[in-house]
Amino acid sequence: MSDLVKRYTSSVFFDKRLWKADITGSLAHADMLAAQGIINAADHASIKEGMAKITAEIESGDFEWKLDLEDVHLNIEARLTALMGDAGKRLHTGRSRNDQVTTDVRLWLRGEIDLIDDLLVALQTALVDVAEANVDVILPGFTHLQVAQPVSFGHHMLAYVEMFARDAARMAEVRKRVNFLPLGAAALAGTSYPLDRERVAKTLGMVDESGQPCVCQNSLDAVSDRDFAIEFTAAASIAMVHISRMSEELILWMSQNFGFIHIPDRFTTGSSIMPQKKNPDVPELARGKTGRVVGHLMGLITLMKGQPLAYNKDNQEDKEPLFDTVDTLKDTLRIFAEMVKGITVKPKAMEQAALCGYATATDLADYMVKKGLPFRDAHEAVAHAVKAAMSHNVDLSELPLEVLQGFNGKIEKDVYECLSLRGSLNARSTLGGTAPVQVRAQIARHRARLAQPV
Smallest distance from the beta carbon of 66 to ligand ARG, in angstroms?
14
Give CA–CA dist 421/427, Å, rounded: 10
Among 159, 150, 354, smallest CA distance to 245 is for: 159
Give CA–CA dist 289/404, Å, rounded: 51
Stretch that binds ligand ARG, among 120-128, 256-264, 311-319, 393-401 (CB under 6 A): 311-319
Give CA–CA dist 214/198, Å, rounded: 8
300 binds ligand ARG (CB under 6 A): no
Stretch that binds ligand ARG, among 197-205, 286-294, 313-321, 365-373 (CB under 6 A): 313-321
45, burial (CB in 10 Å: exposed 0-12, middle 13-18, buried 19+): middle
316 binds ligand ARG (CB under 6 A): yes
Stretch that binds ligand ARG, among 286-294, 308-316, 382-390, 405-413 (CB under 6 A): 308-316
Smallest distance from the beta carbon of 305 to ligand ARG, in angstroms?
17
Stretch that binds ligand ARG, among 59-67, 106-114, 189-197, 310-318 (CB under 6 A): 310-318
The answer to whether the beta carbons of residues 443 and 128 sit under 8 Å apart is yes
**33-72 binders of ligand ARG (CB under 6 A):** 71
Q: Which is nearer to ligand ARG, 72 or 121 (CB)?
A: 72
Beta carbons within 8 Å of 15's beta carbon, 6+ residues apart = 71, 72, 101, 316, 319
Active-site annotation holds for 242: no
Among 202, 158, 165, 195, smallest CA distance to 180 is for: 202
Beta carbons within 8 Å of 449's beta carbon, 6+ residues apart = 165
> Number of H helices and number of E strands within the chain?
20, 4
**216-255 binders of ligand ARG (CB under 6 A):** none
User: Which of 255, 271, 384, 392 is flagged as catalytic?
Assistant: 271
What number of chain residues touch ligand ARG (CB under 6 A)? 10
Q: Per-residue string for binding with ligand ARG, 85-124, x by CB under 6 A?
A: ------------xx--x-----------------------
Beta carbons within 8 Å of 155's beta carbon, 6+ residues apart = 131, 135, 434, 438, 439, 442
Smallest distance from the beta carbon of 28 to ligand ARG, in angstroms?
18
Give CA–CA dist 46/13, Å, rounded: 27
Give CA–CA dist 167/336, Å, rounded: 15
Q: Which is nearer to ligand ARG, 172 or 304 (CB)?
A: 304
26 binds ligand ARG (CB under 6 A): no
Give CA–CA dist 419/368, Å, rounded: 12
Q: Which is nearer to ligand ARG, 202 or 226 (CB)?
A: 226
Q: Which is nearer to ligand ARG, 18 or 361 (CB)?
A: 18
Q: Which is nearer to ligand ARG, 103 or 203 (CB)?
A: 103
Q: Quick one: angle between helices 41-60 and 72-84, nearest 10?
A: 120
| SS3 assignment, position 246 | helix
CA 142 to chain centre: 25
Give CA–CA dist 45/39, Å, rounded: 10
Question: Which secondary structure element, helix H or strand E, spans residue 140, and what is its range?
Answer: strand 138-143
Smallest distance from the beta carbon of 319 to ligand ARG, in angstroms?
6
Q: Which is nearer to ligand ARG, 77 or 363 (CB)?
A: 77
305 binds ligand ARG (CB under 6 A): no
User: Which of 144, 192, 272, 391 is flagged as catalytic?
Assistant: 144
11 binds ligand ARG (CB under 6 A): yes
31 binds ligand ARG (CB under 6 A): no
Q: Which is nearer to ligand ARG, 152 or 315 (CB)?
A: 315
313 binds ligand ARG (CB under 6 A): yes
Active-site annotation holds for 271: yes
Among 125, 149, 241, smallest CA distance to 435 is for: 149
Residue ranges in contact with ligand ARG by CB under 6 A:
11, 15, 71, 97-98, 101, 311, 313, 315-316
User: Catalytic positions, please?
Assistant: 144, 271
